[in-house]
Amino acid sequence: KKHSRPATPRQRGKVVPFRAKSAPQPAAGGGARLLVVLRALTALAGGVLMAGVALWLWWWATESTQPPLRTVRLEGVFQQVSAETVHAVVRAGARGNFFTVDLDRVRVAVEALPWVKTAVVQRLWPDTLRVRVVEQTAVARWGGRALLNEDGVPFVPEGPLPAGLPRLNGPPGTAVQLVQAWRQMNSITAPLGLTLAELELDQRRAWRAVLSNGMVLILGRGEVYPRLLRFVRFYHRAFGGEAGRVARVDLRYSNGFAVRWKAGEGGRDGVGRKW
């Protein structure tokens, strides 16, 4: 038996449409890469534009036709440093015109003066520099030639040191602690009408003070303020009108203090009674 092949579409009498191959489509990532390139070019153009503007502004500000500095206005109380000295320092440090002068440079130069604590430098249109100066306030002498301001910061002035300042001494880095202790102890001795003329902290962290009447106080380490309070409480009972005869008072006792009288004032050895 013969088997015949299936008829092709043409053989069946039907027309089969011809389908052409579609053209290749661009890859999906191509558009994203193009967008990245465009953004990069835009950013580059913006950067070039900003650089051009900055260059033009710099050129404009540095042109000799820009406003020069003509006036220095000083503000503050000048007691230890003269206004003329500050003015000369400002003039020497103020280089350039109104726009290009380096304000920080001027400020640093003024603050380098021995008695200047802080300085603020500002522009005032059209041709003025305003300089506000705050002088150091010395509260005590520190070591040999230095002084301490109210914040406990040491500084070294030029010329003679002010008279009448208390003397504070201590290891390096203890200046702030000394100023704070000096103030606290002064508040404790104030009812006696006395202040601390000297205050010392030694390497062992032991305290020693000299009152304004010349009396030396050995305070020791620890419980310094309670010892001083006890001394003030018994001061009049212990000394009466004889405080001027006292050389030294040792406060390092838990229940009182020992008195050493000046030579010839309280017995042969100069040691008085214990309170």
Q: Tell me the CATH number at 234.
A: 3.40.50.11690
pLDDT for residue 89 is more than 90: yes
- 102 and 179 share a domain? no
pLDDT for residue 267 is more than 90: no
Distance CA 194, CA 80 (A): 28
Got the DSSP string for 78-92?
A: -SSS-HHHHHHHHHH
- 147 and 270 share a domain? yes
What whole-number percentage of the chain has pLDDT above 70? 80
- 88 and 172 share a domain? no
Residue 244 domain-assigned (yes or no): yes
Give the pLDDT confidence score for residue 165 in this predicted structure: 98
Of the candidates 145, 151, 152, the one whose C-alpha atom is nearest the C-alpha of residue 173 is: 152
Give the pLDDT confidence score for residue 271 in this predicted structure: 52
* Structural contact between residues 221 and 205, judged by C-beta atoms closer than 8 angstroms: yes
Q: Can you give the CATH number for the domain in which 89 is found?
A: 3.10.20.310
Amino acid sitting at position 258: A
- 221 and 174 share a domain? yes
- 77 and 178 share a domain? no
pLDDT bin (cut points 50, 70, 90) of residue 18 is very low
Give the pLDDT confidence score for residue 36 in this predicted structure: 79
Residue 95 domain-assigned (yes or no): yes
- Final residue in a domain of this structure, among 110, 135, 160: 135
- 107 and 220 share a domain? no
- Final residue in a domain of this structure, among 135, 167, 184: 135
Residue 233 domain-assigned (yes or no): yes
Both tokens of 127, joined, read 């041709």
DSSP letter for 244, please: G
- 183 and 129 share a domain? no
- 149 and 270 share a domain? yes
Residue 64 domain-assigned (yes or no): no
- 162 and 235 share a domain? yes
pLDDT for residue 222 is more than 60: yes
Model-level pTM?
A: 0.71
Mean pLDDT throughout 5-27? Answer: 49
Residue 246 domain-assigned (yes or no): yes
CB burial of 134-148 (b: ≥16 within 10 Å; e: otherwise) equals: ebbebbbbbeeebbb
- 266 and 165 share a domain? yes
Q: State which residues form the domain around 220.
A: 141-274
* Structural contact between residues 197 and 221, judged by C-beta atoms closer than 8 angstroms: no
- 111 and 190 share a domain? no
Total structural domains within the chain: 2
**Average model confidence (pLDDT) across the chain:** 86
Residue 85 domain-assigned (yes or no): yes
